[in-house]
Amino acid sequence: MVTLGDIAKASGVGISAVSYALNNTGQKKLSKATRERILRVASELNYVPNIAGRALAKGRTFQVGVLLMDWTSEFLFGIFAGLDSVLEQAGYSVIVSRYSNIAQFRERLRVFANKQIDGMVVFHGYVDALDLLRELNARIPVVTVAMDYGSDEIPSILCSGERGGWLAMRHLLDLGHRCVAVHHNDAGFAQGCLRAAADYPGAEALICTTDQASGAVNFWKWCRNAPGRPTACIAYGDIEAAQLISVIGDDGFSVPKDFSVVGIDGEKIGEIVRPMLTTIYQPCEEQGVMAANALLRRLRGEESASLFLQPRLVVRQSTAVPPA
């Protein structure tokens, strides 16, 4: 195993200089050229840091817990990729777990609370579990992604849900739809839809949470039985929207001739499905990078506020004027 002494000998410097270079400290004690030489030699010798030793020396584990809702989502995987790349560069490894309902979410949070980790990043989640998040945040820094918990002490990184809801709803209303079903759990997104509908006389946004109807099949049944007979819907995500197009077709209807569908997230599936999906695009990898940097700031004892990115509407083929 390559040691700091090996790197120091090959670089022609002392062990302390090697430590400064590898830990990115002592900025005023090393010249740029010396630092670069040490790092180059370490790379050439295939040096691998001793995480356990570094953790013992600094009183940290250099591990971060990550709680995901779904691995099948390209959007969430993109966020994770951005998150993981920044944390890896900072010397942290991640412990990943997933959940599919609020009971699992609460149970996973309790498990992480008992693990030796330095911080936690939570994807989505449930506002009803804010109490557990606050308990965890009292022990270690927590950052949330893609869900606004409205908590001052826990920073969130996300696209503006309200803006996304407003853009999706406004697009459908401009096409002439006046009753739109909205499948979403985010209060900000629903508020954006309602705010857009308020600007159009007779317009109505019918909000359906995933607790009321889970999945594309159940949501379509909910739409068919909803008061006002919606002529369009905003799906929970692009994958559900693509599934909805298939379910609607199996029921003898056509998208967008009989029913318009809007997705959320801007995933690649929206370009593959036919008709191609109108969607609200959200930058995913950027959210992951910002979440990692927010957590690293908190780990350094610095302030880290919530950050909001702006989504944008991408109009394709799955939306049209309502049927006559």
- In DSSP notation, 163-204 reads HHHHHHHHHHHHHT--EEEEE---HHHHHHHHHHHTTSTT-E
**Strand, coil or helix: 205:** strand
How do residues 230-253 score in pLDDT, each as one tens digit?
999 999 889 999 999 999 999 999
265-292 b/e (C-beta count within 10 Å ≥ 16 → b): bbbebbeebebbbbbbbbbbbbbbbbbb
173 pLDDT more than 50? yes
Q: Which amino acid makes up residue 228?
A: G
176 within 8 A of 324, measured Cβ to Cβ: no
pLDDT tens per residue across span 17-54: 888 887 777 667 788 888 889 889 988 888 876 654 55
Q: What is the mean pLDDT of residues 159-181?
A: 96
Number of neighbours of residue 214 by Cβ within 10 angstroms:
13
Domain ranges of the chain: 4-48, 61-158+285-302, 161-283
Q: Cα(first)–Cα(last) distance of the chain, in Å? A: 75
Residue that wins the pLDDT comparison between 96 and 74 = 96
Between 219 and 30, name the one with better pLDDT.
219
Q: What is the mean pLDDT of the chain?
A: 89
pLDDT score at 55? 47
Percent of the chain with pLDDT over 70: 95
Residue 321 CB coordination number (10 Å): 13
Reply yes or no on whether the pLDDT at 151 is more than 50: yes
Q: How far is CA 85 from CA 170, 241, 286, 290, in A?
A: 36, 30, 11, 11
pLDDT reading at 321 higher than 60: yes
Place of tokens 């996973």: 108
- Is it true that domain 161-283 has CATH number 3.90.850.10? no
Strands (E) across the chain are located at: 63-68, 93-98, 119-123, 142-145, 156-159, 179-183, 204-208, 232-234, 260-265, 278-281, 307-309, 312-314
Beta bridge partners, 95, equal 65
Angle at 164 between CA 160 and CA 166, to 5 degrees: 115
CATH superfamily of 61-158+285-302: Response regulator (3.40.50.2300)
What integer pLDDT is reported at residue 208 of this predicted model? 93
Contact indicator for 177, 169 with CB cutoff of 8 Å: no
Cα–Cα distance for residue pair 156/66, rounded to 1 Å: 14
Domains 61-158+285-302 and 161-283 share a fold: yes
Omega before residue 256 within 30° of 0, cis:
yes
Q: How far apart are CA 165 and CA 208, in angstroms?
A: 13
Q: What confidence tier does 216 reach under pLDDT thresholds 50, 70, 90?
A: very high
198: closest CA among 169, 227, 223? 169
Which of 70-74, 260-264, 296-300 bottoms out in mean pLDDT, i.e. has the lowest?
A: 70-74
Residue 59: the pLDDT is 53
Residue 56: its pLDDT value, please? 43
Q: What is the pLDDT of residues 190-213, one digit of tens each?
A: 999 999 999 999 999 999 988 888
